[in-house]
Amino acid sequence: MSAALWALVVLPLGSGALLAIGGRIVDRVAPLVAVAIAVVSLFLACLVSVAHPGAAARSLVGLPLRLHVDGLSGVMVVTTTAITTAVVVFSVWDIGADEARARFFGLLLLFSGSMLVTVTAANLLVLLMAWEIMGATSWALIGYWWRDPERVGAANTAFVTTRAADLGLYLAAGAALAGGRSESLALDELDRAADPWLSVITAGVVVAALGKSAQLPFSFWLSRAMQGPSPVSALLHSATMVVAGAYLLLRLQPLLDASGWGSPVVAWTGAATAIALGLVAVAQSDLKQLLAASSCAQIGFMVLAAGSSGVTGGVLQLIAHAAAKSLAFLAAGAWLTLFGAKSLPALQGAARRHRMAGVTFTVAVLTLAGVPPLSLWAAKDVLLAAALEESHWLYGAGLSAAVVSAVYSVKAVWFVWRPVPSGDTLRGDEPSTTCHVSVPGRLPLGVLAVACVALTVLAFRPARDAVTRVLGTGGRPVPHLWEFALSGGLALAASAAAWVWGSRPVPLPAPIRRWFVDWLGVEAVARALLVRPVFGIARALAAFDDRVLDRGVDGAAQAALRLARWTDRRTEQRVDGAVEGVASAARTLGRWARRPQTGQLHHYLAQAIAAFSVLAIVVVLVR
């Protein structure tokens, strides 16, 4: 089965790379190839999720490339490939024939393949490689329409923010090697390192994971990432990059426990993000921004589960979120294509006009809201039961976040089902002037909705059983009936209140409302505290380079030229004259030496007699 595991990761990566570099010449066949690769990958994922194979290849000395599938990663590979297949099928209709389809589908497959490597990585070396590919392809997909400066700026913001947090993973790898207890960088050995390296490894992993999953204080990059195509948003938010950090924390939950401080920090960060970004979602009037903020909030529940040892609930939340969020983004993308609008007031009546998208969108957001019986699918009660065992305050924070999730979910449903005001019309038959895609004919949302709901329902018990077997979480608490009743009752009450409240503004001062609309101003704070000082230092260094170093180098060069000219005028001429004098004397001595050489024997005899006479005199005098 190791061959199937290699094929699972190599097939999307290799075909994606070929499509991406193939250019416009393969645009026509790219959708068909992408759909075929996605379906085959889904089949392979189902095989390896049952067989749990491992694979290894030689790399650096002592650091092999190792992949492994267990219960947790087996659930993830099926989830990732299933959502990828749904998104690829939708993209066939959503990405027009006049677009660079080969580049789009190639990058999409590369993106999905890097996530598959991430979830099956058995050591930090493989994880780092996949982590980098995921970041690079997300940048290219968010900035897919690269001629638009705003979209390119959004891609750059997302890339730089996540890239800065990714440095934590390099720090963790270095600390693991320095600690000497994890020479192979195996993920299941990181918790065996001794302090202080254990704390350094934990800190690096936590920072990298929070950055990748857009948790506080890194959440703002996900708002900018909404500039990408709708299929990219659907895949990015549901089963790939944004959940990769949460998956890593769930995978390394023993490391968080071993550090002593990692678990509470991660749990409270997840709870704070779930509440704060839930309120941000409530304040949004843009549908995609609402869904983006809700992604941060929903992933906050997974991070909360990782910090409170509720791995089973966290994985179930991840599966349910992947199915629901991908479906919600696909429906939002359909409306963006059909109506050319994404603001909630402009989408009033959209669900009534196109009921297929309306029904599927409603199922998706009510799953996020945790409205019974969909709360069983979302699995919030399972992870909240673990939080309750850790701390009553933590349970209260998670329950409050669940109530907020019901409010922003019902708000979105209220707008799209609201009857169109008299005299207003929807541009349902006009192509969008802002989304750069052709208008689909009949969108396959019904088929995708059935697939997503089936994934959520069927994966519940197998996921729980698999995680329990592999990670030994069977002793974690099962929610009591009163917990289901409490969370379900609060969700229903909050949903009813949000429906009755409708579109009336929240009675808060305008600056506070703007603060929530602007995603808590975190990006402005980051620019003020990090970006501007860094650019200020860069400009100061550039000025020092231009005004000091550059001028110094120019001055030194000019001084060298002046010294060379002076040397040429003074020293060089005298040295040249001395050399010519020596040469002339040598020539004169040579001429003198040739004079005795007449070729006559009696001259040579006389010279020899004179030489021997002088030698005899010297010998006599010396003695």
Residue 492, pLDDT > 90, answer no
pLDDT 10s digits, 92-126: 887 888 888 999 999 999 999 999 999 999 999 89
Beta-carbon neighbour count of residue 440 at 10 Å? 18
Least confident of 139-153, 350-364, 411-425, 455-469: 455-469
Residue 439, pLDDT > 60, answer no
Beta-carbon neighbour count of residue 534 at 10 Å? 11
Angle formed by the axes of helices 241-251 and 230-238, to 10°? 10
378 φ, ψ (degrees, to nearest 5): -70, -20
Q: Give pLDDT, residue 395.
A: 92
Q: Give pLDDT, residue 397.
A: 93
pLDDT 10s digits, 331-355: 887 787 777 777 888 888 888 887 7
Rounded mean pLDDT of 348-374?
Answer: 79
* Ranges assigned E (strand) in 43-116: 54-60, 63-68
Q: Give pLDDT, residue 377.
A: 47
Q: Give pLDDT, residue 193.
A: 85
> In this predicted model, which residue has the larger pLDDT, 475 or 368?
368
User: How far is residue 93's CA from residue 16's CA, in Å, rounded to a whole number?
Assistant: 19
Which residues are CB-neighbours of 467 under 8 A, at least 6 positions away? 71, 72, 75, 311, 312, 315, 473
Q: CA separation (Å) from 557 to 39, 146, 541, 570? A: 66, 44, 22, 20
Counting residues of the chain whose pLDDT is more than 90, the rounded percentage is 31
Residue 458, pLDDT > 50, answer no
User: How far is residue 431's CA from residue 339's CA, in Å, rounded to a whole number?
Assistant: 7
Residue 170, pLDDT > 60, answer yes
Distance of CA 48 to the CA centre of its chain: 25
> For tokens 């609402």, what's the residue?
290
Q: Which residues is 123 bridged to in the sheet?
A: 186
Residue 602, pLDDT > 90, answer no
- Distance, first Cα to last Cα, the chain: 104
Q: Give pLDDT, residue 307.
A: 92
Residue 616, pLDDT > 50, answer yes
| Cβ(103)–Cβ(25) below 8 Å | no
* Rg from Cα positions in the chain: 36
Nearest 10 degrees: Cα torsion 93, 94, 98, 101: -90
Rounded mean pLDDT of 299-320?
Answer: 89
User: How far is residue 498's CA from residue 407's CA, in Å, rounded to a whole number?
Assistant: 6
Q: Which residues of 476-513 are buried (b: 16+ CB within 10 A; e: fewer)?
A: beebeeebbebbbebbbebbeebeeeeeeeeeeeeeee
Rounded mean pLDDT of 56-72?
Answer: 83
Nearest 10 degrees: Cα torsion 600, 602, 603, 608: 130
pLDDT 10s digits, 318-328: 888 888 888 88
Q: Give pLDDT, residue 455.
A: 47
Q: Give pLDDT, residue 453.
A: 57
Q: Which amino acid is at 266?
A: V
Residue 370, pLDDT > 80, answer no
| Cβ(358)–Cβ(343) below 8 Å | no
Rounded mean pLDDT of 301-322?
Answer: 88
> In this predicted model, which residue has the larger pLDDT, 453 or 526?
526
> In this predicted model, which residue has the larger pLDDT, 138 or 440?
138
pLDDT 10s digits, 188-202: 888 888 888 999 999
Q: Give pLDDT, residue 278.
A: 93
- Closest by CA position to 209, among listed 270, 254, 258, 154: 270
Instruction: Identify the helix (H) or strand (E) that includes residue 502.
Output: none
Q: Give pLDDT, residue 373.
A: 60
Rounded mean pLDDT of 604-610?
Answer: 78
DSSP state of 601: H
Counting residues of the chain whose pLDDT is more than 70, the rounded percentage is 87
Is residue 217 reached through a cis peptide bond, with omega within 30 degrees of 0 on the bond before it? yes
User: How far is residue 434's CA from residue 151's CA, in Å, rounded to a whole number?
Assistant: 12
Rounded mean pLDDT of 11-15?
Answer: 94
Least confident of 8-12, 127-131, 376-380: 376-380
Least confident of 255-269, 300-314, 477-491, 537-551: 477-491
| Cβ(109)–Cβ(128) below 8 Å | no
Q: Give pLDDT, residue 135.
A: 92
Q: Mean pLDDT over all residues of the chain?
A: 83
Which residues are CB-neighbours of 433 under 8 A, at least 6 positions away? 340
Rounded mean pLDDT of 34-49?
Answer: 93
Q: Give pLDDT, residue 450.
A: 59
User: How far is residue 237's CA from residue 92's CA, in Å, rounded to a whole number?
Assistant: 19
Least confident of 81-85, 424-428, 478-482: 424-428
Which token pair is 560? 């060298």
Residue 571, pLDDT > 90, answer no
Residue 438, pLDDT > 80, answer no
DSSP state of 343: B
pLDDT 10s digits, 248-302: 999 999 999 999 899 999 999 999 999 999 999 999 988 889 999 999 999 999 9
Q: Give pLDDT, residue 433.
A: 37
Q: Give pLDDT, residue 61.
A: 67
Q: Give pLDDT, residue 68.
A: 92
Specify the 3-state DSSP secondary structure of 183: coil
Which token pair is 118? 């991430």
